[in-house]
Structure 1
Amino acid sequence: MIFRQLFDSVSGTYTYLIASRAGGEALIIDPVLEKVDRYLKLVEELDLKLVKAVDTHLHADHVTGLGALRDRTHCITVMGEQTAADVVSMRVAEGDRVSIEGLSLDVLYTPGHTDDSYSFLMNGRVFTGDTLLIRGTGRTDFQNGDPRQQYDSIFNKLLRLPDETLVYPAHDYKGDTVSTIGEEKHFNPRLLVGSVDEYVELMNNLNLPNPKMMDVVVPANIRVGLHQDEIARRGWALSAKEAMALHGSYGIAMVDLREKGEREKHGSIPGALHAPYGDLNENIGEGGILHELAAATGKRIVFYCAFGERSAMAVEAAQAAGLAGACHIDGGMAAWKKADGPVVR
């Protein structure tokens, strides 16, 4: 396995690049905008293909690199379903998995620092975001933070992991790089409390100043979504209502770009083909299933995904590959359901 821990000294942020092998797929956790060039250089040097970029929560101390990485690599952006971010490609919840070739991360909902805080568990490692830090815990006094929720997240989820589990947080300000669950149980001063009420009292009296750039950073991180207006301006988008009117027509082939787990959890449009986004380039290229479908039958390809981000990128790629009729459903499955479109599971 390839594992790299990268550091941004300005914000004290740790970013993690993970892949199962050289030449394979990779994902990145908690990227910082100013370091995107560095990440992409490392991805190139290690001969990796970045396919997913994950934020553990909506950060208040740095601008996320999710949008820039998506724009430059066409990767899938991932956050928890509670996030206030306008659009991410994939929203996950407790019990889901974030998978790439050869690796899978279990999703743990660990609110308290913020209401959209998640941790990700993989092969004896847990990426805790700002929920559990090394010899500390994330503050709970903004972005719907809640010390009582954080106590529950830490004591009833994270600290129940095996003691040898490696703890990789999103931040450190003292130079520590990694800990273990067992170490934090014994040596983290904020966890040496006798009750949830004692923890709440401790966290409510930290009296910390707000992050210096919070008023700029948080709005920037909320507006991270791919702007689908440009796709619509080019005539490559259908509203959910327009797609519903075409649904079932002989000349239309609806193509679901989501992963199997998303389809099973949220349902699909009846009759849609399943061609996951990760296989897009192969499918739209000459000899690919979607390329041949359009060429042999003249069908118009209508892509959709969860929220329209993957499908918007798919349309651009399909048009460039010569599928002139390709379009997508603006807003994706979320918009389809809001318009009361039919769904099968």
Structure 2
Amino acid sequence: MAASSPGAFAPAPALLAAAAGGGPLLFRQLFDAATGTFTYLLADVPSRQGVIIDPVFEQHGRDLSLVQELGIALVASLDTHAHADHVTGSWLLHEATGCAIGLAAAAGAENVTLPLAHGDRVGFGQRVLEVRSTPGHTNGCVTYVLDDHSLAFTGDALLVRGCGRCDFQQGDAHTLWTSITRQIFTLPEACQLYPCHDYTGRGVTSVAEEKAYNARLGGSATERDFVGHMEAMKLPHPHRIAEALPGNLRSGRPRQPQPAVSWAPLQRSYAGLPELTPAWLAAHRADVAVVDVRTPEEYHGPDGRIPASQLLPLPQLEARAAELPADRPLVLVCHSGSRSALATQQLLKAGRPQVANLRGGLRRWTDEGYPIEAEAPLPEA
């Protein structure tokens, strides 16, 4: 399986792990505001192997950029269930990184390379996620529990002060009660629970909190109370269900191929900035215009410049934008890529679409051995 970025360690061939580890963990919670969906990235720090949970199709660029920037070898893209309100990004991540696509076998989806069942253990480096079957919202719902039982990812089975609906897609309130009380509430009370969705900014809870304060099944609520509550709810169907369910039963694989970038293999930084590597620029130098946004003193100084680059200092960029070539894409450069990042943002906002920042700037260009043009030193007096 291919690593997701140069220098990242290749993932181990065995995805279903035999035993838990306990190394340092990298953990990130991401959010898609349009659908109220949380996505989670976990990685074993020593090995750089990681997994992503519940990615969103439209956030693929963001998620892949974070994986690449952190140098993570993505072992698997995991979904907690076949969602009805958004399309998973698993297929796109599989195409980009070679990671496995993990989903409960009970969901019956196509393109799943890691069909999961209760008791399976998904390994990444020295860490493990235990798979617990938690149906009731759908037949294919699972909860992923970290090896030390400090974190669990409950999907839509258990939300913050709520739970997933039970009125469609094989839902059953009795089944959901059993799943939550026997598979989630049996975790340590300090275990932090991370849901797939929330629409009011609540991103985490705990077993103890939900046992005490969840209005549907916490406190002194009985199964009869819970079932009565769930059966009395009158909810509209998710507005994207007609698109989301078929898409997720394909594991997010588009019906039509995604359009490719027309002029360059742009890489998006986690900040959303289009970037290009020195290697690509060196191979396509004649096809683009290189714009250096440093000061004149730097441009003519000892650090040198990329041959045939155009000097246009950042403070003057907006006023002198008409001087930029209109017949070629622009690649912006400075010493480290910081000022040119701002210049790239300014040009994009001004409506110039074919613009990219040179990742790492002139310093990375030089470090990788590409040619520099420099002023001849003045003769000594």
- Within a 5 Å distance, the mapping from 1:58-207 to structure 2 comes to 58-122=82-146, 123=148, 124-192=150-218, 194-207=221-234
Q: Secondary structure at the match of 1:128?
A: strand
Identify the residue that residue 41 of structure 1 maps to in structure 2: 65
Which residue identity is paired with 2:89? G
Contact 1:3 1:16 in 2 (8 A): yes
Identify the residue that residue 302 of structure 2 maps to in structure 1: none
- Within a 5 Å distance, the mapping from 1:18-29 to structure 2 comes to 18-21=42-45, 24-29=48-53
Whole-Å separation in 2 of the counterparts to 1:89 and 1:220: 16
Identify the residue that residue 55 of structure 2 maps to in structure 1: 31
Q: Secondary structure at the match of 1:11?
A: coil
Whole-Å separation in 2 of the counterparts to 1:200 and 1:226: 36
Whole-Å separation in 1 of the counterparts to 2:183 and 2:71: 36
For normalisation by structure 1, the TM-score amounts to 0.64
- Within a 5 Å distance, the mapping from 1:279-318 to structure 2 comes to none
Equivalent in 211, 219, 228 of residue 246 of structure 2: 219
In structure 2, do the counterparts of structure 1 residues 47 and 111 end up closer, same or farther at CA, with 3 Å as the change threshold? Answer: same
| Cα displacement (A) at 1:197 | 2.2
Structure 1 stretches of 4+ moved >6 Å: none
Alignment RMSD (CA, Å): 1.5
1:110-150 per-residue CA deviation (whole Å, 9 max, x = no partner) reads 00010100001003101000000001011011110111000
Q: In proportion to residue count, which structure has more helix?
A: 1
1:142-187 per-residue CA deviation (whole Å, 9 max, x = no partner) reads 1101110000001122111111000001011110111110001111
| Cα displacement (A) at 1:195 | 2.3
Larger radius of gyration: 2
Whole-Å separation in 1 of the counterparts to 2:212 and 2:173: 20
Contact 2:47 2:125 in 1 (8 A): no
Contact 1:112 1:149 in 2 (8 A): yes
Q: Secondary structure at the match of 2:216?
A: helix
Contact 2:87 2:252 in 1 (8 A): no
Which ranges in structure 2 are unaligned for 5 or more consecutive residues? 1-24, 255-381
Which residue identity is paired with 1:150? L
Q: Secondary structure at the match of 1:204?
A: helix
| Cα displacement (A) at 1:38 | 0.3
Contact 1:58 1:84 in 2 (8 A): no
| Cα displacement (A) at 1:224 | 2.6
- Within a 5 Å distance, the mapping from 1:328-343 to structure 2 comes to none
Which residue identity is paired with 1:138? G
Whole-Å separation in 1 of the counterparts to 2:108 and 2:131: 18
Q: Secondary structure at the match of 1:164?
A: coil
Percent of pairs with identical residues: 41
Q: Secondary structure at the match of 1:7?
A: strand
Equivalent in 27, 30, 37 of residue 6 of structure 1: 30
Identify the residue that residue 17 of structure 1 maps to in structure 2: 41
Whole-Å separation in 2 of the counterparts to 1:127 and 1:213: 23
In structure 2, do the counterparts of structure 1 residues 138 and 226 end up closer, same or farther at CA, with 3 Å as the change threshold? Answer: closer
In structure 2, do the counterparts of structure 1 residues 120 and 219 end up closer, same or farther at CA, with 3 Å as the change threshold? Answer: same
Whole-Å separation in 2 of the counterparts to 1:28 and 1:159: 24
Identify the residue that residue 20 of structure 2 maps to in structure 1: none
Contact 1:36 1:68 in 2 (8 A): yes
In structure 2, do the counterparts of structure 1 residues 226 and 137 end up closer, same or farther at CA, with 3 Å as the change threshold? Answer: closer
Contact 1:136 1:188 in 2 (8 A): yes
**Residue correspondences, number:** 227
Which residue identity is paired with 1:205? A
In structure 2, do the counterparts of structure 1 residues 22 and 9 end up closer, same or farther at CA, with 3 Å as the change threshold? Answer: farther
| Cα displacement (A) at 1:22 | 6.3
| Cα displacement (A) at 1:84 | 2.4
1:198-248 per-residue CA deviation (whole Å, 9 max, x = no partner) reads 211110111000000101110111123879xxxxxxxxxxxxxxxxxxxxx
Q: Secondary structure at the match of 1:189?
A: coil
In structure 2, do the counterparts of structure 1 residues 194 and 135 end up closer, same or farther at CA, with 3 Å as the change threshold? Answer: closer
Whole-Å separation in 2 of the counterparts to 1:54 and 1:209: 27
